[in-house]
A and B are shown apart, each in its own frame.
Chain A
Protein backbone atom coordinates (compact mmCIF):
# COMPACT_ATOMS: atom_id res chain seq x y z
CA UNK A 1 0.00 0.00 0.00
CA UNK A 2 2.78 2.35 0.98
CA UNK A 3 4.68 1.54 -2.21
CA UNK A 4 1.61 2.25 -4.25
CA UNK A 5 1.15 5.61 -2.60
CA UNK A 6 4.75 6.54 -3.23
CA UNK A 7 4.46 5.51 -6.85
CA UNK A 8 1.28 7.52 -7.28
CA UNK A 9 2.89 10.53 -5.65
CA UNK A 10 6.01 10.35 -7.79
CA UNK A 11 3.83 9.98 -10.91
CA UNK A 12 1.97 13.12 -9.92
CA UNK A 13 5.24 14.99 -9.45
CA UNK A 14 6.45 13.75 -12.85
CA UNK A 15 3.26 14.80 -14.51
CA UNK A 16 3.53 18.20 -12.91
CA UNK A 17 7.08 18.74 -14.15
CA UNK A 18 5.96 17.70 -17.63
CA UNK A 19 3.28 20.34 -17.46
CA UNK A 20 5.69 22.93 -16.13
CA UNK A 21 8.01 22.27 -19.03
CA UNK A 22 5.29 23.30 -21.48
CA UNK A 23 4.34 26.38 -19.49
CA UNK A 24 6.44 28.68 -21.66
CA UNK A 25 4.57 27.63 -24.79
CA UNK A 26 1.10 29.06 -25.26
CA UNK A 27 -1.37 26.41 -26.40
CA UNK A 28 -4.01 27.82 -28.74
CA UNK A 29 -7.27 26.15 -29.77
CA UNK A 30 -8.40 26.60 -33.36
CA UNK A 31 -11.23 25.28 -35.52
CA UNK A 32 -9.65 24.33 -38.85
CA UNK A 33 -10.21 24.41 -41.76
CA UNK A 34 -11.81 27.82 -42.11
CA UNK A 35 -9.97 29.37 -45.04
CA UNK A 36 -8.37 31.80 -45.41
CA UNK A 37 -8.08 32.17 -41.64
CA UNK A 38 -6.85 28.67 -40.86
CA UNK A 39 -6.37 25.67 -43.14
CA UNK A 40 -3.92 22.87 -43.83
CA UNK A 41 -1.08 23.48 -46.28
CA UNK A 42 -0.32 20.68 -48.79
CA UNK A 43 2.38 19.34 -46.43
CA UNK A 44 -0.19 18.97 -43.64
CA UNK A 45 0.93 21.89 -41.49
CA UNK A 46 -1.53 24.51 -40.31
CA UNK A 47 -1.41 27.88 -42.00
CA UNK A 48 -3.63 30.88 -42.69
CA UNK A 49 -4.13 34.45 -41.53
CA UNK A 50 -4.94 33.63 -37.91
CA UNK A 51 -2.22 30.98 -37.60
CA UNK A 52 0.44 33.42 -38.76
CA UNK A 53 -0.93 36.24 -36.62
CA UNK A 54 -1.23 33.93 -33.60
CA UNK A 55 2.36 32.77 -33.99
CA UNK A 56 3.53 36.39 -34.06
CA UNK A 57 1.61 37.05 -30.84
CA UNK A 58 3.11 33.98 -29.14
CA UNK A 59 6.60 34.96 -30.29
CA UNK A 60 6.12 38.42 -28.84
CA UNK A 61 5.33 36.87 -25.42
CA UNK A 62 7.37 33.63 -25.24
CA UNK A 63 9.77 33.81 -28.17
CA UNK A 64 8.23 30.65 -29.64
CA UNK A 65 5.33 29.77 -31.98
CA UNK A 66 2.03 28.78 -30.39
CA UNK A 67 1.22 25.11 -29.95
CA UNK A 68 -1.93 24.68 -32.05
CA UNK A 69 -4.69 22.34 -30.92
CA UNK A 70 -7.37 21.64 -33.53
CA UNK A 71 -10.86 21.48 -32.03
CA UNK A 72 -14.29 21.54 -33.71
CA UNK A 73 -16.17 24.84 -33.33
CA UNK A 74 -18.87 23.75 -30.90
CA UNK A 75 -16.26 22.25 -28.57
CA UNK A 76 -13.94 25.26 -28.55
CA UNK A 77 -15.14 26.95 -25.34
CA UNK A 78 -15.64 23.66 -23.41
CA UNK A 79 -12.10 22.63 -24.46
CA UNK A 80 -10.71 25.92 -23.16
CA UNK A 81 -12.46 25.49 -19.81
CA UNK A 82 -11.17 21.89 -19.62
CA UNK A 83 -7.60 23.24 -20.01
CA UNK A 84 -6.89 21.49 -23.32
CA UNK A 85 -5.40 24.84 -24.40
CA UNK A 86 -4.94 28.27 -22.87
CA UNK A 87 -6.54 30.48 -25.48
CA UNK A 88 -8.91 30.33 -28.42
CA UNK A 89 -7.60 31.99 -31.56
CA UNK A 90 -10.27 31.01 -34.02
CA UNK A 91 -12.34 33.85 -35.54
CA UNK A 92 -14.54 34.06 -32.45
CA UNK A 93 -16.73 37.18 -32.56
CA UNK A 94 -16.93 39.06 -29.30
CA UNK A 95 -20.48 39.07 -27.95
CA UNK A 96 -22.23 39.29 -24.61
CA UNK A 97 -23.40 35.68 -24.62
CA UNK A 98 -19.79 34.42 -24.85
CA UNK A 99 -18.50 37.05 -22.41
CA UNK A 100 -20.44 35.22 -19.69
CA UNK A 101 -18.17 32.19 -20.12
CA UNK A 102 -14.81 33.53 -21.29
CA UNK A 103 -12.54 36.57 -21.20
CA UNK A 104 -11.82 38.31 -24.52
CA UNK A 105 -8.67 40.10 -25.64
CA UNK A 106 -8.81 43.27 -27.71
CA UNK A 107 -10.27 42.50 -31.10
CA UNK A 108 -7.78 41.75 -33.88
CA UNK A 109 -9.93 41.76 -36.99
CA UNK A 110 -13.39 42.51 -38.29
CA UNK A 111 -14.73 41.56 -41.69
CA UNK A 112 -16.65 44.27 -43.50
CA UNK A 113 -19.82 43.49 -45.43
CA UNK A 114 -20.01 44.29 -49.13
CA UNK A 115 -22.47 44.60 -52.00
CA UNK A 116 -21.96 42.34 -55.00
CA UNK A 117 -23.75 42.96 -58.27
CA UNK A 118 -23.70 42.15 -61.97
CA UNK A 119 -25.53 45.35 -62.95
CA UNK A 120 -23.51 48.10 -61.32
CA UNK A 121 -25.91 48.45 -58.42
CA UNK A 122 -25.61 51.68 -56.44
CA UNK A 123 -26.40 51.37 -52.69
CA UNK A 124 -27.34 55.05 -52.54
CA UNK A 125 -30.08 54.53 -55.18
CA UNK A 126 -31.69 51.36 -53.90
CA UNK A 127 -35.35 52.24 -54.50
CA UNK A 128 -37.29 49.19 -55.68
CA UNK A 129 -34.15 47.11 -56.17
CA UNK A 130 -34.09 43.46 -55.10
CA UNK A 131 -31.29 42.85 -52.60
CA UNK A 132 -30.45 39.34 -51.39
CA UNK A 133 -29.31 38.60 -47.84
CA UNK A 134 -28.94 35.50 -45.72
CA UNK A 135 -31.92 35.22 -43.39
CA UNK A 136 -31.37 36.72 -39.91
CA UNK A 137 -27.71 37.63 -40.40
CA UNK A 138 -26.31 41.02 -39.41
CA UNK A 139 -26.52 41.92 -43.11
CA UNK A 140 -30.27 41.20 -43.02
CA UNK A 141 -30.61 43.50 -40.00
CA UNK A 142 -28.64 46.26 -41.70
CA UNK A 143 -30.56 46.21 -45.01
CA UNK A 144 -33.92 45.97 -43.27
CA UNK A 145 -33.06 48.99 -41.14
CA UNK A 146 -31.16 51.26 -43.55
CA UNK A 147 -32.32 50.45 -47.11
CA UNK A 148 -36.03 50.62 -46.39
CA UNK A 149 -37.01 51.42 -49.98
CA UNK A 150 -35.38 48.24 -51.34
CA UNK A 151 -37.03 44.82 -51.60
CA UNK A 152 -35.23 42.41 -49.25
CA UNK A 153 -35.06 38.80 -50.50
CA UNK A 154 -34.03 36.38 -47.74
CA UNK A 155 -32.11 33.17 -48.48
CA UNK A 156 -31.22 30.13 -46.43
CA UNK A 157 -27.72 29.68 -47.88
CA UNK A 158 -25.26 32.04 -49.57
CA UNK A 159 -24.88 29.62 -52.50
CA UNK A 160 -28.58 29.82 -53.42
CA UNK A 161 -28.30 33.59 -53.27
CA UNK A 162 -25.28 33.60 -55.60
CA UNK A 163 -27.23 31.46 -58.12
CA UNK A 164 -30.09 33.97 -58.17
CA UNK A 165 -27.67 36.87 -58.50
CA UNK A 166 -26.03 35.11 -61.44
CA UNK A 167 -29.37 34.44 -63.16
CA UNK A 168 -30.55 38.05 -62.74
CA UNK A 169 -33.27 37.54 -60.13
CA UNK A 170 -31.40 39.87 -57.78
CA UNK A 171 -29.96 43.33 -58.40
CA UNK A 172 -27.40 42.84 -55.65
CA UNK A 173 -26.47 40.70 -52.68
CA UNK A 174 -25.13 41.96 -49.37
CA UNK A 175 -22.78 39.55 -47.60
CA UNK A 176 -19.58 39.22 -45.58
CA UNK A 177 -16.86 40.49 -47.94
CA UNK A 178 -14.59 37.38 -47.78
CA UNK A 179 -17.61 35.09 -48.28
CA UNK A 180 -18.73 37.10 -51.32
CA UNK A 181 -15.23 37.11 -52.83
CA UNK A 182 -15.09 33.35 -52.33
CA UNK A 183 -18.39 32.81 -54.13
CA UNK A 184 -17.57 34.77 -57.28
CA UNK A 185 -16.37 32.41 -59.98
CA UNK A 186 -13.67 33.05 -62.58
CA UNK A 187 -14.97 35.08 -65.53
CA UNK A 188 -18.19 36.05 -63.77
CA UNK A 189 -19.89 39.38 -64.41
CA UNK A 190 -20.40 39.82 -60.69
CA UNK A 191 -18.19 42.37 -59.00
CA UNK A 192 -18.03 44.03 -55.62
CA UNK A 193 -19.71 47.45 -55.82
CA UNK A 194 -20.04 50.42 -53.49
CA UNK A 195 -18.27 51.00 -50.20
CA UNK A 196 -17.40 48.28 -47.71
CA UNK A 197 -19.70 48.52 -44.69
CA UNK A 198 -18.45 48.16 -41.07
CA UNK A 199 -20.67 50.61 -39.23
CA UNK A 200 -22.65 50.85 -37.02
CA UNK A 201 -20.90 48.75 -34.36
CA UNK A 202 -24.33 48.11 -32.79
CA UNK A 203 -25.11 45.84 -35.77
CA UNK A 204 -21.72 44.71 -37.05
CA UNK A 205 -20.24 43.98 -33.63
CA UNK A 206 -16.88 44.50 -32.06
CA UNK A 207 -14.93 42.16 -34.26
CA UNK A 208 -13.05 39.00 -33.42
CA UNK A 209 -10.91 38.43 -30.34
CA UNK A 210 -8.84 35.76 -28.61
CA UNK A 211 -10.68 34.07 -25.71
CA UNK A 212 -9.30 32.98 -22.31
CA UNK A 213 -10.44 31.38 -19.10
CA UNK A 214 -11.75 34.09 -16.77
CA UNK A 215 -8.97 33.58 -14.21
CA UNK A 216 -6.20 33.99 -16.84
CA UNK A 217 -6.42 37.78 -16.86
CA UNK A 218 -2.61 38.05 -16.92
CA UNK A 219 -2.29 36.06 -20.16
CA UNK A 220 -5.14 38.09 -21.65
CA UNK A 221 -3.30 41.33 -20.86
CA UNK A 222 -0.09 39.98 -22.42
CA UNK A 223 -1.87 38.91 -25.60
CA UNK A 224 -3.77 42.19 -25.92
CA UNK A 225 -0.51 44.11 -25.51
CA UNK A 226 1.27 41.89 -28.05
CA UNK A 227 -1.57 42.44 -30.55
CA UNK A 228 -1.26 46.20 -30.19
CA UNK A 229 2.50 45.98 -30.78
CA UNK A 230 2.06 43.86 -33.90
CA UNK A 231 -0.64 46.15 -35.26
CA UNK A 232 1.70 49.12 -34.83
CA UNK A 233 5.02 47.68 -36.03
CA UNK A 234 3.72 46.68 -39.47
CA UNK A 235 3.84 42.88 -39.01
CA UNK A 236 0.03 42.78 -38.93
CA UNK A 237 -0.23 44.58 -42.26
CA UNK A 238 2.35 42.26 -43.85
CA UNK A 239 0.33 39.18 -42.91
CA UNK A 240 -3.01 40.77 -43.83
CA UNK A 241 -1.80 41.73 -47.32
CA UNK A 242 -0.85 38.15 -48.07
CA UNK A 243 -4.41 36.93 -47.44
CA UNK A 244 -6.77 39.81 -48.18
CA UNK A 245 -6.96 42.62 -50.67
CA UNK A 246 -9.09 44.74 -48.35
CA UNK A 247 -8.69 46.08 -44.84
CA UNK A 248 -9.88 43.90 -41.95
CA UNK A 249 -7.83 45.66 -39.27
CA UNK A 250 -9.72 47.03 -36.28
Chain B
Protein backbone atom coordinates (compact mmCIF):
# COMPACT_ATOMS: atom_id res chain seq x y z
CA UNK B 1 0.00 0.00 0.00
CA UNK B 2 2.75 2.44 0.94
CA UNK B 3 4.67 1.61 -2.20
CA UNK B 4 1.76 2.72 -4.38
CA UNK B 5 1.42 5.91 -2.32
CA UNK B 6 5.12 6.58 -2.87
CA UNK B 7 4.72 5.89 -6.57
CA UNK B 8 1.79 8.30 -6.85
CA UNK B 9 3.35 11.17 -4.98
CA UNK B 10 6.85 10.85 -6.39
CA UNK B 11 5.45 11.53 -9.87
CA UNK B 12 5.43 15.27 -10.66
CA UNK B 13 2.46 14.72 -13.00
CA UNK B 14 0.30 14.08 -9.93
CA UNK B 15 0.97 17.57 -8.56
CA UNK B 16 0.41 19.12 -11.98
CA UNK B 17 -2.99 17.36 -12.16
CA UNK B 18 -4.02 18.61 -8.72
CA UNK B 19 -2.70 22.12 -9.39
CA UNK B 20 -4.69 22.43 -12.62
CA UNK B 21 -7.80 21.17 -10.81
CA UNK B 22 -7.32 23.60 -7.93
CA UNK B 23 -6.99 26.56 -10.30
CA UNK B 24 -10.22 25.63 -12.12
CA UNK B 25 -12.12 25.16 -8.83
CA UNK B 26 -10.99 28.53 -7.45
CA UNK B 27 -11.83 30.23 -10.75
CA UNK B 28 -15.34 28.72 -10.85
CA UNK B 29 -16.14 29.50 -7.22
CA UNK B 30 -14.70 33.03 -7.26
CA UNK B 31 -16.49 34.05 -10.48
CA UNK B 32 -19.85 32.60 -9.46
CA UNK B 33 -19.66 34.22 -6.00
CA UNK B 34 -18.71 37.57 -7.51
CA UNK B 35 -21.47 37.63 -10.12
CA UNK B 36 -23.99 36.00 -7.78
CA UNK B 37 -23.24 38.55 -5.06
CA UNK B 38 -23.69 41.47 -7.46
CA UNK B 39 -27.06 40.07 -8.61
CA UNK B 40 -28.15 39.39 -5.04
CA UNK B 41 -27.87 42.99 -3.78
CA UNK B 42 -30.70 44.55 -5.88
CA UNK B 43 -32.74 41.36 -5.54
CA UNK B 44 -32.46 41.49 -1.74
CA UNK B 45 -33.56 45.13 -1.66
CA UNK B 46 -36.55 44.40 -3.91
CA UNK B 47 -37.35 41.29 -1.88
CA UNK B 48 -37.94 43.46 1.21
CA UNK B 49 -40.52 45.47 -0.71
CA UNK B 50 -44.09 45.29 0.60
CA UNK B 51 -45.46 45.39 -2.95
CA UNK B 52 -46.53 41.85 -3.76
CA UNK B 53 -45.83 42.24 -7.50
CA UNK B 54 -42.19 42.94 -6.77
CA UNK B 55 -41.77 40.60 -3.83
CA UNK B 56 -43.37 37.39 -5.15
CA UNK B 57 -41.33 36.82 -8.34
CA UNK B 58 -38.08 37.12 -6.39
CA UNK B 59 -39.43 34.87 -3.66
CA UNK B 60 -40.28 32.31 -6.38
CA UNK B 61 -36.75 32.51 -7.77
CA UNK B 62 -35.04 32.01 -4.42
CA UNK B 63 -37.53 29.31 -3.44
CA UNK B 64 -36.88 27.33 -6.63
CA UNK B 65 -33.10 27.56 -6.47
CA UNK B 66 -32.86 26.89 -2.74
CA UNK B 67 -35.44 24.12 -2.91
CA UNK B 68 -33.80 21.95 -5.57
CA UNK B 69 -30.38 20.26 -5.55
CA UNK B 70 -27.62 22.13 -7.32
CA UNK B 71 -26.83 18.96 -9.28
CA UNK B 72 -30.34 18.97 -10.75
CA UNK B 73 -29.98 22.64 -11.72
CA UNK B 74 -26.63 21.95 -13.34
CA UNK B 75 -27.99 19.01 -15.34
CA UNK B 76 -31.00 21.07 -16.46
CA UNK B 77 -28.80 23.88 -17.69
CA UNK B 78 -26.07 21.69 -19.21
CA UNK B 79 -27.94 18.71 -20.70
CA UNK B 80 -31.47 20.10 -20.75
CA UNK B 81 -30.67 23.20 -22.78
CA UNK B 82 -28.81 21.12 -25.39
CA UNK B 83 -32.03 19.24 -26.15
CA UNK B 84 -33.93 22.42 -27.13
CA UNK B 85 -34.68 22.19 -30.86
CA UNK B 86 -32.51 24.43 -32.99
CA UNK B 87 -30.43 25.85 -30.15
CA UNK B 88 -27.30 24.83 -32.02
CA UNK B 89 -28.06 27.43 -34.69
CA UNK B 90 -28.50 30.38 -32.32
CA UNK B 91 -25.69 32.48 -30.94
CA UNK B 92 -26.46 31.13 -27.45
CA UNK B 93 -24.81 27.90 -28.47
CA UNK B 94 -21.41 29.62 -28.63
CA UNK B 95 -21.74 30.17 -24.88
CA UNK B 96 -23.52 26.95 -23.96
CA UNK B 97 -21.35 24.62 -26.02
CA UNK B 98 -18.46 24.69 -23.55
CA UNK B 99 -19.11 23.12 -20.17
CA UNK B 100 -17.70 26.17 -18.35
CA UNK B 101 -20.53 28.65 -18.98
CA UNK B 102 -23.52 26.39 -18.21
CA UNK B 103 -21.76 25.45 -15.01
CA UNK B 104 -21.00 29.09 -14.15
CA UNK B 105 -24.65 30.03 -14.82
CA UNK B 106 -25.95 27.26 -12.56
CA UNK B 107 -23.54 28.12 -9.74
CA UNK B 108 -24.20 31.86 -10.05
CA UNK B 109 -28.00 31.53 -9.94
CA UNK B 110 -27.77 29.14 -7.00
CA UNK B 111 -25.50 31.31 -4.89
CA UNK B 112 -27.50 34.42 -5.89
CA UNK B 113 -30.64 32.78 -4.46
CA UNK B 114 -29.01 31.99 -1.13
CA UNK B 115 -27.21 35.33 -0.88
CA UNK B 116 -30.45 37.22 -1.64
CA UNK B 117 -32.12 35.59 1.34
CA UNK B 118 -29.12 36.23 3.60
CA UNK B 119 -29.10 39.96 2.70
CA UNK B 120 -32.88 40.20 2.96
CA UNK B 121 -32.71 38.84 6.48
CA UNK B 122 -30.13 41.34 7.64
CA UNK B 123 -31.83 44.25 5.84
CA UNK B 124 -35.13 43.47 7.55
CA UNK B 125 -33.54 43.19 10.99
CA UNK B 126 -31.95 46.63 10.88
CA UNK B 127 -32.74 48.16 14.31
CA UNK B 128 -35.87 50.33 14.12
CA UNK B 129 -34.18 53.12 16.05
CA UNK B 130 -31.50 53.60 13.36
CA UNK B 131 -34.13 53.94 10.65
CA UNK B 132 -36.22 56.34 12.73
CA UNK B 133 -33.17 58.44 13.45
CA UNK B 134 -32.39 58.56 9.71
CA UNK B 135 -35.95 59.61 9.00
CA UNK B 136 -35.72 62.30 11.66
CA UNK B 137 -32.71 63.70 9.84
CA UNK B 138 -34.92 63.98 6.75
CA UNK B 139 -33.24 61.25 4.67
CA UNK B 140 -35.37 59.82 1.90
CA UNK B 141 -35.56 56.05 1.13
CA UNK B 142 -32.54 56.06 -1.17
CA UNK B 143 -30.30 57.94 1.23
CA UNK B 144 -31.41 55.71 4.12
CA UNK B 145 -30.52 52.59 2.13
CA UNK B 146 -27.20 53.94 1.02
CA UNK B 147 -26.02 55.46 4.30
CA UNK B 148 -27.67 53.47 7.08
CA UNK B 149 -29.36 50.21 6.13
CA UNK B 150 -27.04 48.59 3.58
CA UNK B 151 -23.68 49.25 5.30
CA UNK B 152 -25.06 47.85 8.52
CA UNK B 153 -26.82 44.94 6.80
CA UNK B 154 -23.71 43.84 4.89
CA UNK B 155 -21.65 43.84 8.07
CA UNK B 156 -24.17 41.74 9.92
CA UNK B 157 -24.39 39.37 6.92
CA UNK B 158 -20.68 38.45 7.08
CA UNK B 159 -20.94 35.37 9.36
CA UNK B 160 -23.84 33.85 7.39
CA UNK B 161 -22.20 34.74 4.09
CA UNK B 162 -18.94 33.02 5.05
CA UNK B 163 -20.96 29.82 5.37
CA UNK B 164 -22.37 30.34 1.89
CA UNK B 165 -18.85 30.81 0.47
CA UNK B 166 -17.65 27.57 2.05
CA UNK B 167 -20.77 25.68 0.92
CA UNK B 168 -20.18 26.98 -2.60
CA UNK B 169 -16.60 25.71 -2.56
CA UNK B 170 -17.79 22.27 -1.51
CA UNK B 171 -20.72 22.26 -3.93
CA UNK B 172 -18.40 23.14 -6.80
CA UNK B 173 -17.15 19.53 -6.71
CA UNK B 174 -20.14 18.54 -8.84
CA UNK B 175 -18.65 20.49 -11.77
CA UNK B 176 -16.64 17.36 -12.52
CA UNK B 177 -19.87 15.58 -13.53
CA UNK B 178 -20.14 17.82 -16.60
CA UNK B 179 -16.57 17.25 -17.83
CA UNK B 180 -14.99 20.25 -16.08
CA UNK B 181 -11.48 19.35 -14.94
CA UNK B 182 -11.83 20.64 -11.38
CA UNK B 183 -10.19 19.49 -8.16
CA UNK B 184 -12.47 16.48 -7.67
CA UNK B 185 -11.80 15.47 -11.27
CA UNK B 186 -8.09 15.46 -10.43
CA UNK B 187 -8.82 13.14 -7.51
CA UNK B 188 -10.81 10.84 -9.76
CA UNK B 189 -8.03 10.78 -12.35
CA UNK B 190 -5.44 9.75 -9.77
CA UNK B 191 -7.86 7.17 -8.38
CA UNK B 192 -8.42 5.63 -11.79
CA UNK B 193 -4.81 5.88 -12.94
CA UNK B 194 -3.38 4.03 -9.93
CA UNK B 195 -6.52 2.19 -8.62
CA UNK B 196 -5.90 4.12 -5.40
CA UNK B 197 -9.15 5.60 -4.07
CA UNK B 198 -7.72 6.61 -0.70
CA UNK B 199 -4.67 8.45 -2.00
CA UNK B 200 -6.54 10.13 -4.84
CA UNK B 201 -9.47 11.46 -2.85
CA UNK B 202 -7.68 12.14 0.44
CA UNK B 203 -5.21 14.45 -1.29
CA UNK B 204 -8.08 16.26 -3.04
CA UNK B 205 -9.83 16.46 0.34
CA UNK B 206 -6.75 17.99 1.95
CA UNK B 207 -6.63 20.70 -0.72
CA UNK B 208 -10.34 21.47 -0.17
CA UNK B 209 -9.60 21.65 3.55
CA UNK B 210 -6.76 24.12 3.00
CA UNK B 211 -8.97 26.29 0.79
CA UNK B 212 -11.68 26.22 3.46
CA UNK B 213 -9.19 27.31 6.13
CA UNK B 214 -8.03 30.11 3.86
CA UNK B 215 -11.60 31.36 3.41
CA UNK B 216 -12.22 31.11 7.16
CA UNK B 217 -9.09 33.15 7.93
CA UNK B 218 -10.18 35.91 5.55
CA UNK B 219 -13.66 36.10 7.04
CA UNK B 220 -12.29 36.01 10.58
CA UNK B 221 -10.25 39.12 9.78
CA UNK B 222 -13.26 40.78 8.14
CA UNK B 223 -15.45 40.03 11.16
CA UNK B 224 -12.87 41.42 13.56
CA UNK B 225 -12.51 44.65 11.60
CA UNK B 226 -16.10 45.30 10.57
CA UNK B 227 -18.12 43.60 13.29
CA UNK B 228 -15.94 44.52 16.24
CA UNK B 229 -18.72 46.54 17.83
CA UNK B 230 -20.97 43.45 17.96
CA UNK B 231 -18.40 41.03 19.35
CA UNK B 232 -18.70 39.79 22.93
CA UNK B 233 -16.09 41.31 25.19
Contact = CB atoms under 8 A, between A and B. Distances in A.
A163 B179 contact: no
Interface string A153-192: 1111000100110111100000000000000000000000
A34 to B, nearest CB: 21
A168 B83 CA distance: 10
Contact of B181 (A154, A156, A167, A168): A154
Contacts of A168: 82, 88, 93, 97
Given A163-B82, A167-B82, A135 B192 contact: yes
Contacts of B82: 163-164, 166-169
Interface in B128-171: none
Contacts of B185: 135, 154
**Interface residues of B toward A: which range?**
10 to 19
A136 interface: yes
Interface string A212-249: 00000000000000000000000000000000000000
A194 B158 CA distance: 57
A153 B189 CA distance: 13
**Interface residues of A toward B: which range?**
10 to 19
A154 B179 CA distance: 6
Contacts of B193: 136
Nearest to A156: B177
Contacts of B177: 156, 160
Given A135-B192, A136-B189, A153 B79 contact: no
A167 B193 CA distance: 29
A160 B176 CA distance: 12
Would you call the interface of chain A mostly helix, strand, loop, or mixed? mixed
B107 to A, nearest CB: 19
Contacts of A135: 185, 188-189, 192
Interface string B113-133: 000000000000000000000
A113 to B, nearest CB: 17
B79 A163 contact: yes
B7 to A, nearest CB: 15
Interface string B167-211: 000000000111101000100110111000000000000000000
Nearest to A141: B193
Contacts of A136: 188-189, 191-193
A131 to B, nearest CB: 12
A202 B81 CA distance: 40
Contacts of A153: 99, 179
Contacts of B83: 167
Given A154-B185, A155-B179, A169 B97 contact: yes
Contacts of B179: 153-155, 164
A136 B188 CA distance: 9
A136 B79 CA distance: 22
Contacts of A169: 82, 97, 99
B117 to A, nearest CB: 32
A136 B187 CA distance: 12
Interface of A: 135-136, 153-156, 160, 163-164, 166-169
Given A136-B192, A167-B79, A168-B82, 11 more contacts: A135-B188, A136-B193, A154-B179, A156-B177, A160-B177, A160-B178, A163-B82, A167-B82, A167-B83, A167-B88, A169-B97
18 contacts: A135-B185, A135-B188, A135-B189, A136-B191, A136-B193, A154-B181, A154-B189, A155-B179, A156-B176, A160-B178, A163-B82, A164-B79, A164-B82, A167-B82, A168-B82, A168-B97, A169-B97, A169-B99
Q: What 4 A-B pairs have minimum CB-CB distances, sorted nearest first?
A: A136-B192, A167-B82, A168-B88, A153-B179
